[in-house]
Amino acid sequence: MIHIKDLSKSFGNKLVLKDINISFEKGKVYGIVGENGSGKTTLFRCIAELEKYEGEIGTHYDQLKNHLGLLFTDPYFFTRITGKEYIQLLLYARKIKNIEINSRNIFDLPLNQYASTYSTGMKKKLALTAILLQENDVYILDEPFNGVDIHSNIMIVEIIKKLKELGKTVIISSHIFSTLAETCDEIHLLENGEFIKSATKESFSELETEMKKFSIGDLVEKLGLK
């Protein structure tokens, strides 16, 4: 379990996260939704120990970062590293050896090509493949469906379901509510650095309706489409 208590984060005078309290259990999938700038990525970076923060993040792991795979919205790659070398680098970080990478290349990526030359979707699929092969216990996926083709989106959904079946903890941010509704056990709405509403499967539709009303309102009607 990951237990977050009174977590706050500021950049200078700007408060980005305010008194976050939430727990993430093994074998469950959690969705974090919110508009751009609501604090989703900053929260993920705090959990991954990439940012300093106030408050507590408790876990039964010796060091959470050694059991966590973080998929960034826009993964970064060195200019002269192939897809295969990138995966090997991340496996080396977990001291994992003797994995046949080519046979597990389910996204059919050009692994001998420099990763920096990949398209946006290919980069995301490479980064996802690498953290999956690390055999982590916790996965944080920041907008995993953005920039990825429909076939790969379907595959990612099935991967998330399999991770849940294996007892992993999965935390996802996405603007595609229907995908979250299909995979998540809970969805939490983050607004201006605070969780303002949470929903379990039984009330996902209610949360979606509320989000549409909040973010769209009567804006479409103002277009005066004819």
* DSSP codes, 152-166: HHHHHHHHHHHHHHT
We report the CATH number of the domain holding residue 43 as: 3.40.50.300
pLDDT value of residue 217? 65
The enclosing H or E element of 126 equals: helix 120-133
pTM to 2 decimal places: 0.91
For CA atoms 156, 154, 189, 1, the dihedral sign is negative
Q: Does 176 reside within a domain?
A: yes
> By percentage, how much of the chain surpasses pLDDT 70?
96
Within a domain: residue 126? Answer: no
Helix axes 120-133, 150-165, angle to 10 degrees: 20
pLDDT at 208 over 90: no
If you average pLDDT over residues 189-204, what whole number do you get? 90
- Average pLDDT on 197-207 reads 88
Q: Which domain range does residue 186 map to?
A: 2-75+138-222
CA distance 175 to 180: 9
**149 three-state secondary structure:** coil
60 within domain boundaries: yes
Per-chain mean pLDDT for the chain? 92
23: pLDDT confidence band, cut at 50, 70 and 90?
Answer: very high
Full strand arrangement of the beta sheet holding 29-33: 68-71, 138-142, 169-173, 29-33, 186-191, 194-200
**Residue 103 is assigned to a structural domain of this protein:** no
**pLDDT value of position 213:** 66
Judge whether 112 lies within some domain: no
Q: For residue 117, is it within any domain? A: no
170 within some domain: yes
What's the average model confidence in pLDDT over 152-179? 93
Residue 31 lies in a domain: yes
The whole-number pLDDT of residue 104 equals 95
224 has pLDDT over 90: no
- Average of pLDDT values for 27-46? 93
- Write the CB contacts of 108 (distance below 8 Å, at least 6 apart in sequence): none
Beta carbons of 106 and 155 less than 8 angstroms apart? yes
How many structural domains are present in the chain?
1
3-class secondary-structure state, position 191: strand
Question: For residue 61, which phi and psi values (nearest 5 degrees)?
Answer: -75, 150
